[in-house]
């Protein structure tokens, strides 16, 4: 039961929950708001519609406003003349899947096919490819987050429930006018055939929009395409990075705290946490380490998790990656003797065969006595790879640049240490076999040990 619960927790968190929080709340890896004072972005989903979209285009043309249309591929396929007109009149065309279906309910390969099919339809009609994508209902999964579609994800900063006709033109006008300001990305709908929408809802939207455009024109404001807004926004992006990163780290640490509570992780040194652990039965395939130690299904192991708050704190005060590496090595060294003594002293750990964890490393932990093994291919390995790359890009001092320094070190690996090795090296008052890199730590250790601690709450359920 616990194994099933953990699997569900991992899958929902990796695939939907974490990407949803980071995109919706913090706008991480998506575009949802611009800046400025006189320009906003009108965006329209679910079309094209043969009745309402041409009327919308007439309205935009009359007020000399530009917009972005995220088209459903099956609709575009049926009404190519409307798509052709959208393109001819200078509006931006984006992708909204081939059918209007949530990405949470589709496999990554299915989402990718939906996007490609819609892009091919747009290309056949207009002669241009689209690189902008809005998933239905704005719902992203982990693979969308990792640029599974190859497109830039566009969300919104304001929506108005205009898919319901009962809202009425008057109330809809008030809602849109309340959000009429620079940098706003407004979500509206030019088609009412989507599940949950009213077929005649776009009629009320058109009435309200005409009133809003009249006010905008009087105020000297104009609607621009999303790509134009993004180009303007990129100039001020650097100023926002540090705040965004702090917010992302806060969300991750909150999630990690919940993970630790849910699975009752213990901390080796609560006053200065670095290593967390729990005892469980190994459930993966038999593993034979280099020293001949064998780990079989059902054997008791201590599952290790590394403290990302500690990593972030050390990284924040480190002046260089070399300094960060030295401090991380010393933090791990400090905890291993305490953990070894706990294994010796506590009766419930008598049957423990070894330590076990997962990390984005290739060689660094070997100096601590760990064996580094390939993670068996499968869904967990793929999800872990994407998840850890995302985490690394947020927490690592070099950010996303760290992801581009070589694919070999960016593969998740299994870390295992026989309990005999742990006790022999670290128990009681024995001097640890690993020498602290006090003066000139090897460059390899510098790069790899930093990544060792990135894994956080991501141990495998192999």
Q: Which residues are catalytic, by number?
A: 45, 189
CA distances to 1, 39, 189, 228 from 185, rounded to whole Å, are 45, 10, 13, 12
Which residues lie below 8 Å from residue 89, measured CB to CB, with a gap of 6+? 57, 60, 61
Using CB atoms within 10 Å of the CB of residue 241, give its burial: 0 to 12 exposed, 13 to 18 middle, 19+ buried: exposed
Assess contact for 280 and 301: CB atoms under 8 A.
yes
Quickly list DSSP for 43-65: EEES---TTHHHHHHHHHHHTT-
d(CA 339, CA 337): 5
Assess contact for 226 and 41: CB atoms under 8 A.
yes
CA distances to 343, 350, 439 from 279, rounded to whole Å, are 11, 11, 36
Assess contact for 425 and 377: CB atoms under 8 A.
no
CA distances to 47, 81, 118, 290 from 78, rounded to whole Å, are 11, 9, 12, 61
Which residues lie below 8 Å from residue 203, measured CB to CB, with a gap of 6+? 52, 165
The two three-digit tokens of residue 348, written as one number? 């419930």
Host H or E run for residue 438: none
Q: If DSSP codes are grouped into helix, strand and coil, which group holds residue 250?
A: helix
Assess contact for 149 and 115: CB atoms under 8 A.
yes
d(CA 219, CA 269): 61
- Taking Cα atoms as reference points, which of 432, 458, 439 lies closest to residue 368? 432
d(CA 136, CA 161): 14
Rounded (5°) CA angle 217-86-32: 65
d(CA 108, CA 115): 11
What is the separation of C-alpha 52 from the centre of its chain, rounded to a whole number of angstroms?
36
Which residues lie below 8 Å from residue 430, measured CB to CB, with a gap of 6+? 337, 424
């Amino acid at each position: 039961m616990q194994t099933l619960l953990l699997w569900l927790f991992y899958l929902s968190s990796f695939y939907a929950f974490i990407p949803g929080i980071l995109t919706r709340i913090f706008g991480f890896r998506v575009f949802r708001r611009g800046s400025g004072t006189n320009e906003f972005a009108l965006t329209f989903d679910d079309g094209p519609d043969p009745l309402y979209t041409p009327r919308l285009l007439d309205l935009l043309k009359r007020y000399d406003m530009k917009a972005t249309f995220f088209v459903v591929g099956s609709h575009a396929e049926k009404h190519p003349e409307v798509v052709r007109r959208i393109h001819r009149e200078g509006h931006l065309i984006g992708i909204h899947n081939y059918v209007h279906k949530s990405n949470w309910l589709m496999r990554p390969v299915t989402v990718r096919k939906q996007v490609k099919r819609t892009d091919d339809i747009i290309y056949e009609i207009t002669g241009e490819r689209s690189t902008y994508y809005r998933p239905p209902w704005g719902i992203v999964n982990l693979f969308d987050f990792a640029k599974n579609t190859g497109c830039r994800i566009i969300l919104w900063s304001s929506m108005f429930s205009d898919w319901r006709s009962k809202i009425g033109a008057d109330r809809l006008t008030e809602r849109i006018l309340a959000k009429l300001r620079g940098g706003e990305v407004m979500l509206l709908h030019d088609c009412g055939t989507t599940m949950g929408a009213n077929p005649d809802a776009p009629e009320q939207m058109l009435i309200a929009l005409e009133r809003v455009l009249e006010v905008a024109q009087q105020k000297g404001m104009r609607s621009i395409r999303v790509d134009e807004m993004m180009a303007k926004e990129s100039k001020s992006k650097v100023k926002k990075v540090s705040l965004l990163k702090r917010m992302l780290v806060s969300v991750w640490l909150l999630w990690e705290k919940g993970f630790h509570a849910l699975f009752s992780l213990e901390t080796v040194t609560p006053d200065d946490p670095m290593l967390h652990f729990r005892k469980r039965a190994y459930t993966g395939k038999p593993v034979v380490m280099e020293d001949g130690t064998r780990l079989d299904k059902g054997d008791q192991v201590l599952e290790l998790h590394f403290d990302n708050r500690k990593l972030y704190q050390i990284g924040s005060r480190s002046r260089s990656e070399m300094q960060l590496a030295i401090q991380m090595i010393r933090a791990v060294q400090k905890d291993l003797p305490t953990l070894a003594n706990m294994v010796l002293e506590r009766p419930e750990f008598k049957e423990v065969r070894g330590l076990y964890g997962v990390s984005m490393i290739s060689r660094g932990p070997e100096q601590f006595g760990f064996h580094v093994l390939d993670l068996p291919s499968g869904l967990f390995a793929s999800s872990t790879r994407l998840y850890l790359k995302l985490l690394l890009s947020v927490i690592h001092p070099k950010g996303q640049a760290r992801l581009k320094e070589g694919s070999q070190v960016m593969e998740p690996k299994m870390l295992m240490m026989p309990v005999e090795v742990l006790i022999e090296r670290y128990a009681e008052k024995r001097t640890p076999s690993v020498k602290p890199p006090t003066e000139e730590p090897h460059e390899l250790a510098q790069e790899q040990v930093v990544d060792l601690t990135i894994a956080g709450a991501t141990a495998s359920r192999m």
